Amino acid sequence: MLDIGCGGGATLQRLLKRSKEAKVYGIDISEESVAKAKKVNADVLESRYLSLKVQPRNFLTRTGSSTS
């Protein structure tokens, strides 16, 4: 599961509780938010079921051709 804009990590905890064997990924553009999410979820991060990353603001930039 992917939580885009994971913020402080509360949703990540709920997702992991719902599915104990799921792999959950959290990304956010804020280094501070990812740091907080890592702290809040430290016990699960060590179990390799959770991965958190900081992404640049434009990582979801829309691509494709425009119509004329």
Is residue 8 a contact partner of residue 36, using CB atoms and an 8 Å limit?
Answer: yes
Q: Which whole-number Å values give the CA distances from 60 to 4, 23, 29, 68, in the listed order?
A: 10, 21, 11, 23
The total of other beta-carbon atoms located within 10 Å of residue 2's CB is 11
pLDDT (tens digit, 9 = 90+) per residue, 2-37?
888 888 989 988 888 888 788 888 888 888 988 898
Q: Whose CA is closest to 23, among 46, 41, 2?
A: 2
Measured between alpha carbons, how far is 13 from 66 in angstroms, rounded to an integer?
Answer: 40
Measured between alpha carbons, how far is 13 from 62 in angstroms, rounded to an integer?
Answer: 29
pLDDT (tens digit, 9 = 90+) per residue, 32-50?
988 898 888 888 776 656 7
pLDDT (tens digit, 9 = 90+) per residue, 46-66?
665 677 777 776 655 554 544
